[in-house]
Structures are given as structure tokens and as C-alpha cells.
Amino acid sequence: MSTDIPTGFLFIDKPATWTSHDIVAYLRRATGVKKIGHAGTLDPFATGLLIIGVGRSATRQLDTFKGLEKTYVATIRLGYTSDTLDSDGVITPASPAGVQSITQEHIESVLQTLKGTQLQTPPMYSAKKIGGKKLYELARVGKVINRVPVPVSIYDIELLSWSEDTLKIRCIVSAGTYIRVLAADIGEALGTGAYCATLRRTAIGPYSTTDAISPKMIVRENWVANIKTLDDQGILF
């Protein structure tokens, strides 16, 4: 392979069911470049923006994006819980009847209480590593270990819609925040239980899904045309 292969970043709109690793593996085949990485994992059930570094120089710069705030749109189902805190887990009725007494004012009040900095415990079904093992690998064999709560920030949270047992929110959060945990916290505060039914990351810092494309649109003949690079101020263009 030629040593003058372009290096830079691709904005990918991750489909549901694909893992972040699936995206990287697919792009390695599509571009012919082996050195590819991503800035921030998305769960398999989630969709949305992944910033992909292509080439050694770009992958070394991925930390530039990992600490940026993230914007998500999530659909939360009330009255039920999930062992994974999302739609991929085992769904169990919690308090479906309790949903009938919930009001929009109550929901919005709870959302407001969740703004700010708080301690959040990483879920067992997550890619976080403890002792060299990913938590979800331990969870799948029935192991539950103590996890140290970490500070996260909920900068903004907004109710977009609410219908029967489903509410839709938009939130802007610090890096490392688990929206699945936030959904469970909302369910606990409402007294109904809840899990995250759908999740979409719409932005990473100033970068949006409006500039992202499906991984299937990347082929050997066009990937270079979709590459973005950093300017002197560290902004992608």
C-alpha cells in the first residue's frame, strides 16, 4: 500500500444492531486502510454519530473528540425494566399501572432534578473495562462486580413528547454518561421503572449527524472524498 494514503476523519451514522467494532471492521475492508479507530462507543441498539479516524495520524488525534459533550435523543418506556437497561435485555413489568397516574408536569419536574453533576454507576452491560475485562463479558456469564460511581454532568434535558407509557427526551451530557442509566433513574424517580427503548446520538460537540453518512455508502472509490481534516484551531472541515 502506498504511504501517501490520505489520513483524516469520517462522520458515520451508525445503524442499529451494528457494534462500533463492526463499523471499524467494515471501513477497514471498504477503504483498504488497517489503521482505523473511533471516538466513543455506541451500544449496538443505538444509532447516530460515530467519528472515525482513518490512518495513524488521525487515530492518534481521536482523543480530541472523546471528551466533547454528547447530544442524544432517547425514547424511554415507562412501567417496565430491563436487565441491560435497554431494549436488547430481558424486559420485566415493573409498574405498568403506575404509568396511568403520571402527568406531564411530574415528568418535567423529574427531568429538571436530574440536571447538573451527579455520580453515575457504569452498568454491568457496558464496554467499560475493569481488571482488563469488559463488564458486559462478565455480565454474560452471570458475574456482577462492584463498580465505582463516576461524576457525570447533565447539561440540559428536554421532554420532546409523551404518550401513554413512552416519553422522548433530548439531552446534552458530558462524555462517559450512560443514557441507559439516566432512563432507569427517570423511571425510579417517577415510581414506574423504565428502560431506554431507542437511542440516537445526534451530535458530538459541534459535529452533527447532518454531516454523517451510512457506512454502506463508503466504498474504495469514494472514501477519500468523504474525509475531513483538522484545521489549525482543531476544527474538522
* pLDDT tens digits, one per residue of 182-210: 999 999 999 999 999 999 999 999 999 99
Q: Mean pLDDT throughout 131-159?
A: 78
pLDDT, averaged across the chain: 89
Handedness of CA 115, 85, 49, 33 (dihedral sign): positive
Q: Which residues pair with 92 in a beta bridge?
A: 81
Could you read off the pLDDT of 97-123 as tens digits, one per residue? 788 889 999 999 999 999 999 999 877
24 shares its domain with 99? no
Q: Which residues of 184-204 are buried (b: 16+ CB within 10 A; e: fewer)?
A: bbbbebbebbbbbbbbbbbbb
Asked if residue 215 belongs to a domain, the reply is yes
Q: Is residue 94 within 8 Å of 191, Cβ to Cβ?
A: no
Handedness of CA 85, 91, 94, 95 (dihedral sign): positive
Q: Domain containing 106: what range?
A: 70-204
Q: Is residue 150 within 8 Å of 177, Cβ to Cβ?
A: no
Q: What is the pLDDT of residue 125?
A: 67
Task: Specify the CATH number for the domain of residue 109.
Answer: 3.30.2350.10
Looking at the 3D structure of the chain, how many domains does it have? Answer: 2
117 shares its domain with 13? no
- The single-letter DSSP state of residue 44 is T
Q: Cell numbers for 39, please give them.
A: 471516538
Asked if residue 234 belongs to a domain, the reply is no
Q: Measuring CA to CA, which residue among 149, 190, 142 is closest to residue 166?
A: 190
pTM of the model: 0.90
14 shares its domain with 80? no
Annotated catalytic sites, by residue? Answer: 43
Across the chain, the runs of DSSP E, i.e. the strands, are 8-14, 36-38, 47-54, 70-78, 80-82, 91-93, 116-120, 129-130, 133-134, 150-163, 166-173, 194-204, 207-208
Helix, strand, or coil (residue 96): coil
Label residue 81 by pLDDT band (50, 70, 90): very high
79 shares its domain with 184? yes
